[in-house]
Amino acid sequence: MLPPNFQRKVGSTPTPLFFLGLILVVLVFAPMARAQDAGVVDGGGAAGDAPGTPRVVSPRLLERARPAYPADGGGRRVDVELLLTLNELGAVTHTEVLGHIPADAPESFDHAARAACASLRFEPARREGVPIPVRLRFHLAIAPPVVAHADAEVPELHDDEPGAGAEGLTHAHDQAHPPVNAGAADAGAADAGAATDATAAPEAGVPAPEGPAAEAVVRGGTRDRTASHYDLELGALRNVPRLTGAEVLSLAPGVMLSNEGTEGHAQHVFLRGFTGENGQDIAFSVDGIPLNEESNIHGQGYVDLYFLVPELVSRLDVTEGTADPRQGNFAVAGSIDYHLALPTRGLTVRSTLGRFNYQRLVALYGPGGHPDETFAAVDLVHSDGFGPSRGFDRASAVAQWVTEAGRSGLLRLLATVYATRFVSPGVVREDDLDAGRVDFFGAYPEAGRQGGLSSRALVAAAYDWRRAGERAELRVFGQARDLSLTENFTGYLLRAHEGDLIEQRYGGGTVGANGYYQRTAELFHRTHAVELGWFTRHDRYALAQRRLQALTSEPSRLRDNGDVSADVRATHVGLYLDLTARLLPRLTLRGGARLDALAYDVSADVFRAVDQRTERVNRNALGVHVGPKATAELHLGRGVTLLGSLGSGFRSPDALTLADGESAPFVSVLGQELGARWTLGNEPLARARLAVSTAAYHTLVGNDLLFDPTVGRSVPIGASRRLGAVLWLRARPRPWLDVNASLTYTRATVENDALGSTVPAGSLLPYVPAVVARLDVGLERDLGRWRSWAVRARGGLGASFYGPRPLPLDERSEPVFLVDLSAALRVGALELGASAKNLLDARWRDAQLNTASNFNPGTASSFFPVRHFTAGSPLTFFLTLGVYL
Amino acid sequence: MCLGVSLGMCLVALSGVRCAGSTGDHRLRFQGAVTGSGAAGVTALGWTLALERFVVAWGPTRVYSDAPIARARTRPRSLLAGLSVGTAWAQHCHGCPRAPVAELGFERGGSVLRAVDLLAPSPSPLGAANARNGLYRSVSFAFPGGSAVPDGGVVGAMLGGHSMVVRGTATRGAVSIPFEGSLDFNTQGGEDGAPTRPYTVYGVAFDRPEGLHLEATQEATDRVVVRVELARFFDQADFGSLPEPSEPGRPRAITAASQVATAWRLGVRDPRSYRVGWTGAGGSGEPRPGPQPAPDAGP
């Protein structure tokens, strides 16, 4: 459907071929969707309905059940059949157990099922758009081995225990299947105001939202090591406009994204006073597979998240701080784990057109009868960009398959292939902008063609195993990765005639495995737990950097001291131990330690000036880091929990900076945090209708670096400190409304006089935003029916505020306020949506730098650093047509 | 809705919040000026100079924090010089040159090349400095090709497209030699000989050898003044080696291949040919004349 050639000039319009293809899709598939959607005999209603009988829409499950596995369960699976009574709000008001299989299962399964169903939430049944009470048959399978917490005195659920409380492997059939009763729906209950004896038959004309009998494989449980742990289920918040999987990160409190290039170039992820250049200060992963790149030539810890299709991101597991022993390399500010799933089953095809010739086609497939974590997706994107030299093309394919493996296991297979090619405008000098020599969205053509190509092929397999009191996970992964970047941020500063364009290349592969083993034990009538985890990773990459001639992009005729040609082999082995002790009914202590060893073998070309020869030199180094972690959790009751934590995080050094035989030095940080959390109704955080948390944190970096322009490189400055506070709220006041909001304050300072006392102790570290605020609002609501088609609306609002940032020379950036908005209406199988990014058309600076440059070849260069910036995206609107099959 | 309104009000309030504190480094504002040592002077070879014209194409003047006796490096020693590791901060200059703490000769991002008459009765202004706090220790001067100087009026006309122009009389004993000549600084060549940047002299002390730490300035009164010791330029010059003029009565020409021209270049490169003074707090004021050179045994 896409035009055969992705390359488009700025301002060009999509080819007629694209529109024809779009129309073709609609014409071909719409009747099929209509046929499925109707399912209604002409002139009639549901099968067996008398003519004129009001149509009843079945209730729709919003929140699944997570039963606690009974202590006397014996390790077997029991299926419990229940009859639920729902009121007009979709809440369960009465639960009746009809039976269970096997028949000799203990009654504790009935109790567990009944208790779990009390927390179910439904979109209420409706008759002609009016909510009505109904009774509904519900099937709940409770599978082993989930050990419920044994401490009955503490009503709160400890989600992080192996299978505790809310965890379990369950299968919940979609509420529309099987039908409760054949025959006409009795709508008299609502009319007569009687108690809920009415029985609702599912509307035969209602499209099965999940296709055939859907099974949801629920693997729950989170690890609350700090008050700043956020289990962010996207839900309706996925309707907030996001063009990439990386933009989902804005949901995490305190995260600010910045990009000095175009889509395709890794973003800087600011968090807790760390600038996170190219993602280096956060340990990123997707379902446990590490994504940070070891010794990437562009930046240690480089993370490319553009392979993630945003529609597939179902949950973010965010741990801010360093208190979790599972956090390994690069977890300096925290860690973020993406979880992928596709809640909408069947085939979904969306086509988007937007300003600046933005074109996107995404196809998503979730086979019915399989869990949400089984899916396949293809994503194709093109854009000319909002200014010169900002175009990009991207293709991504992701597939995952999840299935039960054995009695107690779950197998997950993931594969993804991705490539993107992009052009970058480089930076603009503020004084050139002030003098009118360049436009705000302009670029310096003399700087040369900048941009790059990034590709990835990733395969992974994970096995999750559970048994009574035990749980284990094993994950293996392999990746091939290539990155090519050209950039010129200084123009003709160093080379007055050839220019300073450089090319960087990074290519190779990574293999690794990780996992853990958990076990609970009863001691002094309380449940305790121990976890042993391990991590291995081996990277083999070729690194290269060389100068290019800016105007021709041909290799420079001259050698440069910065030229690099090297091979890096890095091996990482990590081990951690984590203990959980419930010493008192309301007090839980967690503590552990992590040990990581990294070995480097570097082979690099070294130029010998004495004889003008280049020879290969080998060097190797090894470093070990030990990081203690501890958390204390105090349950005050009424859903309030206090948490105090501390931990040591680390980041490995860039292999090219190591000397032979050196004990590889790490970036080591020590963090502490104290906070509180409250959830309404004492519900688990991920599903609470209202949850609020607040925390104060402190992080100390033992020996930090600061760029000293007078010497032209980063120099040690001793210790630096980061203090801050965060406030977070998640609310679901209505089943169709979801709100996520956060406010973060950070103060990052140097501890000692630095840069020859030019930067006295207590000075602010530059570029760190003091205030970051974010609001996300998502909604999804059924609007009833129009003719025979179900009508559904969804929308989203996202607002970001970044306070003024301190810049070098005691300057301040301007505050930034951005608003994104989307709305979509679905009728039957067709959906039309509109969205806007930067709705207020704010003119804002994305990345800001302080460096010397000269973009006028042949003229004298100023060596004094001045402000440079990359322009942020202006108002961009999109139209999307979707087809659901 | 209440939540949204409350958050919106918070954001409006937050937009006016300015994070308290400073990054430590901050801008300084002051002016610069350059002057010559006067029309009269004595060289180390005993020639007494009476100068009638001395015009220079003056390029960027920069102040660095490093020691004045060290040869200034335009690039760091090695990209692989890893002394330690830290969280690192944004810098995108691959192989950056050292940045000066102050720089004169650039305004609004563009270079300002000036034709300067070093025999003018008052110092010639060099414009406002781009400057920051820090240790002011060594100074560099750049001399572009004269043709790079835009229309500089009368003084620019005297340059005639050269980097330096001089005219005067050198006397030693009973010998008096009128002379005139010019220097053309091809910009310093790169590795392939292609010109890369103006001819730059490094290592001149800022006010005193240990330097001066500047934290604050009075923009109206504080300035850095450069004094060029004109006679020092010709310390090693033997004016007697100049060829006789083709026409009687005309001054002897300093040709590009002459010993005087070579000595002149050496003098320009010698940091002792310049004195830099700071008129602000802690400074020594405008630079005083330097010590007279020890006379060499001349012919």
Contact A134, A86 (CB under 8 A): yes
E-state strands within B173-222:
175-183, 188-189, 195-197, 199-205, 212-214
Contact B250, B242 (CB under 8 A): no
Q: Looking at residues A534-555, what average pLDDT do you find?
A: 93
Candidates A605, A612, A710, A839: best to mutate against B (most CBs of B within 10 A) is: A710
Say yes or no to pLDDT of B4 above 90: no
**Separation of alpha carbons A463 and A402, rounded Å:** 10
| Contact state of A705 with B10 under an 8 Å Cβ cutoff | no
Say yes or no to pLDDT of B74 above 50: no
* DSSP 8-state symbol, B99: P
**Separation of alpha carbons A805 and A844, rounded Å:** 13
A369 to chain B, any CB pair closer than 8 A? The answer is no
| Contact state of A717 with B86 under an 8 Å Cβ cutoff | yes
Q: Looking at residues A747-751, what average pLDDT do you find?
A: 93
Contact B57, B124 (CB under 8 A): no
Classify residue B59: in a domain, yes or no: yes
- Give residue A558's pLDDT band: very low, low, confident or very high (50, 70, 90): confident
pLDDT in tens, A599-608: 999 999 888 7
Chain A contacts of B63, Cβ < 8 Å?
none
Pairing of strands A78-86, A92-101: antiparallel
Beta-bridge partner residues of A529: A520, A580
Classify residue B296: in a domain, yes or no: no
DSSP three-state, residue A57: strand
Looking at per-residue pLDDT, the higher value among A778 and A757 belongs to A778
- Give residue A716's pLDDT band: very low, low, confident or very high (50, 70, 90): confident
Say yes or no to pLDDT of A53 above 60: no
Tokens of A381: 């994107």
pLDDT in tens, A264-320: 999 999 999 998 889 999 999 999 999 999 999 998 999 999 999 999 999 999 999
A281 to chain B, any CB pair closer than 8 A? The answer is yes
Classify residue B106: in a domain, yes or no: yes
Which of A375-389, A465-479, A543-557, B91-105 comes out lowest in average pLDDT?
Answer: B91-105
Burial of A525: CB neighbours in 10 Å, binned 0-12, 13-18, 19+? exposed
Say yes or no to pLDDT of A255 above 50: yes
pLDDT in tens, A258-279: 998 888 999 999 999 998 889 9
What is the per-residue pLDDT for A845? 96
Chain A contacts of B126, Cβ < 8 Å?
none
* DSSP 8-state symbol, A548: B
Alpha helices in chain B (DSSP H): 2-15, 153-159, 259-269
What is the per-residue pLDDT for A305? 97
Nearest to B98 among A332, A558, A710 (CB): A710
Which of A320-324, A608-612, A728-732, B12-16 comes out lowest in average pLDDT?
Answer: B12-16
**Separation of alpha carbons B255 and B180, rounded Å:** 9
Looking at per-residue pLDDT, the higher value among B23 and A842 belongs to A842
What is the per-residue pLDDT for A743? 97
What is the per-residue pLDDT for A176? 28
**Separation of alpha carbons A137 and A92, rounded Å:** 12
- Element (H or E) spanning A848, and its range? strand A845-851
The size of chain B, in residues, is: 299
- Give residue A321's pLDDT band: very low, low, confident or very high (50, 70, 90): very high
> How close B139 comes to chain A (CA, Å)?
13
Classify residue B239: in a domain, yes or no: yes
What is the per-residue pLDDT for B92? 56
Q: To the nearest whole number, what is the mean pLDDT of chain A?
A: 82
What is the per-residue pLDDT for A680? 83
What is the per-residue pLDDT for A598? 93
A758 to chain B, any CB pair closer than 8 A? The answer is yes
- Give residue A26's pLDDT band: very low, low, confident or very high (50, 70, 90): very low
Contact B115, B154 (CB under 8 A): no
Partner B, chain A 421-460, Cβ-Cβ below 8 Å: 427, 429, 431-432, 434-435, 437
**Separation of alpha carbons A193 and A187, rounded Å:** 10
> How close A700 comes to chain B (CA, Å)?
11
- Give residue B236's pLDDT band: very low, low, confident or very high (50, 70, 90): very high
Say yes or no to pLDDT of B102 above 60: yes
Classify residue B89: in a domain, yes or no: no
Euclidean distance between the first and the last CA atom of chain A, given in angstroms as a whole number: 18
Tokens of B101: 């703490």
Domain annotation for chain A: domains and CATH numbers: 51-221 (3.30.2420.10), 245-884 (2.40.170.20)
Tokens of A531: 């976890």
Say yes or no to pLDDT of B81 above 60: no
- Give residue B246's pLDDT band: very low, low, confident or very high (50, 70, 90): confident
> What is the strand order of the sheet A125-127 is part of?
A56-57, A125-127, A130-132
Q: Looking at residues A757-771, what average pLDDT do you find?
A: 89
Residues 6+ apart with CB under 8 A from A107: none
The tally of domains found in chain B comes to 1
- Give residue A667's pLDDT band: very low, low, confident or very high (50, 70, 90): confident
Nearest to A712 among B15, B76, B113 (CB): B76
Site of tokens 């269970």: A100
pLDDT in tens, A155-164: 333 334 333 3
* DSSP 8-state symbol, A387: S
Partner B, chain A 652-711, Cβ-Cβ below 8 Å: 653-654, 656-659, 665-667, 669, 701, 703-707, 709-711
Chain B: residue whose CA lies nearest to A563: B79
**Residue A797: CA atoms inside 13 Å, Cβ hemisphere, count?**
12
pLDDT in tens, A823-875: 999 999 999 999 999 999 999 999 998 889 999 887 778 889 899 999 999 99
What is the per-residue pLDDT for B18? 52
Residues 6+ apart with CB under 8 A from A645: A225, A226, A227, A321, A323, A629, A630, A631, A632, A672, A673, A674
Whole-angstrom CA distances from A652 to A596, A625, A649, A669, A670 are: 10, 9, 10, 12, 15
Most confident of A53-62, A541-550, A647-656, B14-23: A541-550
What is the per-residue pLDDT for A132? 82
Amino acid at B139: V
Say yes or no to pLDDT of A166 above 70: no
What is the per-residue pLDDT for B240? 93
> How close B180 comes to chain A (CA, Å)?
29
pLDDT in tens, B173-220: 999 999 999 998 865 555 555 455 678 898 898 988 888 999 999 888
- Element (H or E) spanning A31, and its range? helix A16-38
**Separation of alpha carbons A443 and A491, rounded Å:** 11
Looking at per-residue pLDDT, the higher value among A152 and A480 belongs to A480
Classify residue B219: in a domain, yes or no: yes
Burial of B175: CB neighbours in 10 Å, binned 0-12, 13-18, 19+? exposed
B111 to chain A, any CB pair closer than 8 A? The answer is yes
From the list B33, B34, B36, B35, the residue with the least C-alpha distance to B230 is B36
**Separation of alpha carbons A719 and A705, rounded Å:** 9
Q: Looking at residues B127-156, what average pLDDT do you find?
A: 85
C-alpha gyration radius of chain B: 24
Beta-bridge partner residues of A620: A601
What is the per-residue pLDDT for B149? 76
Q: Looking at residues B14-32, what average pLDDT do you find?
A: 77
Alpha helices in A147-234 (DSSP H): 188-192
Give the DSSP per-residue string, B244-289.
Answer: PPSSTTSPEEE-TTSHHHHHHHHHHH-GGGEEEEE-STTS--SPPP
Chain B contacts of A281, Cβ < 8 Å?
87
**Domain span including residue B197:** 25-70+97-278
Residues 6+ apart with CB under 8 A from A31: none
pLDDT in tens, A368-405: 888 899 999 999 999 999 999 999 999 999 999 999 88
- Give residue A34's pLDDT band: very low, low, confident or very high (50, 70, 90): very low
What is the per-residue pLDDT for B86? 47
Looking at per-residue pLDDT, the higher value among B161 and B150 belongs to B161
What is the per-residue pLDDT for B295? 58
Say yes or no to pLDDT of B270 above 80: yes
- Give residue A168's pLDDT band: very low, low, confident or very high (50, 70, 90): very low
What percentage of chain B carries pLDDT values higher than 90? 47
Say yes or no to pLDDT of A237 above 70: yes
- Give residue A528's pLDDT band: very low, low, confident or very high (50, 70, 90): confident
Give exposure, A388-423, as e/b (b: 16+ Cβ within 10 Å). bbbbbbbbbbbebbbeeeeebbbebebebbbbbbbb
E-state strands within B29-128:
31-36, 40-42, 48-58, 61-64, 102-104, 106-107, 110-111, 114-117, 124-128
Q: What's the gap between Cα A578 and its chain centre?
A: 25
What is the per-residue pLDDT for A242? 96
- Give residue B56's pLDDT band: very low, low, confident or very high (50, 70, 90): very high
Contact B115, B159 (CB under 8 A): yes
Looking at per-residue pLDDT, the higher value among A96 and A375 belongs to A375
Partner B, chain A 546-565, Cβ-Cβ below 8 Å: 557-562, 564
What is the per-residue pLDDT for B96? 64
Contact A739, A777 (CB under 8 A): yes
Among left, alpha and beta (phi > 0; psi -120 to 50; other), residue B221 is alpha
Contact A766, A808 (CB under 8 A): yes
Q: What sign does the CA torsion over A149, A151, A156, A161 have? A: negative
What percentage of chain B carries pLDDT values higher than 70? 75
Classify residue B292: in a domain, yes or no: no
Classify residue B17: in a domain, yes or no: no
Q: Backbone phi, then psi, for A427, in 5-degree steps?
A: -115, 165
